Amino acid sequence: MTDTLWLLCAALLMLLATCWLALSLQSHWRQVFARTDATPAAKRLRAAGWTALLLSALCCLKADHPSMAVLVWFTLFSAAAMTTSMLLSYRPLWLRLVCPPLLRLS
């Protein structure tokens, strides 16, 4: 794979990671799914989020040398966190698209 594809994979994984980590919180879960009786599978969402963060870092390392990869990873983290917060603020229902059924209910 080319460096561009590795960086695209890293960006996608980072966005998924921040979305899953946000959805693991009860308040964000209720905001997205609008069901107060349902609880999120918080442990699975957090595990998936942290795994996606790690895979994103590995993709960055595959695309660039380590010092540049760390810089790109932190930049992707900032952009993904801002995107996730904007989605939660303006279009929270769109986060349903990134939460597969396996990660929905405990």
- Tell me the pLDDT tens digit for each residue of 4-54: 999 999 999 999 999 999 999 988 988 888 865 567 788 899 999 999 999
Residue written as token pair 């879960």: 29
| 33 is a domain residue | yes
Give 99's pLDDT tier (boundaries 50, 70, 90): confident
| 104 is a domain residue | no
Distances (CA, A) of 22 to 34, 66, 68, 104: 15, 28, 27, 13
| 21 is a domain residue | yes
Taking the C-alpha atoms of residue 61 and residue 67, their distance in angstroms, rounded to an integer, is 9
Give the mean pLDDT of 81-90. Answer: 95
Total number of domains in the chain? 1
| 105 is a domain residue | no
Query: Helices 26-33 & 66-90, crossing angle to 10 degrees?
Result: 50
| 106 is a domain residue | no
Give the mean pLDDT of 77-96. Answer: 94
Q: Is the pLDDT of residue 76 over 90?
A: yes
Amino acid at 40: P
- pTM, whole model, 2 decimals? 0.90
| 24 is a domain residue | yes
**Quick one: pLDDT at residue 37?**
58
| 32 is a domain residue | yes
Domain of residue 43: give its range: 3-99
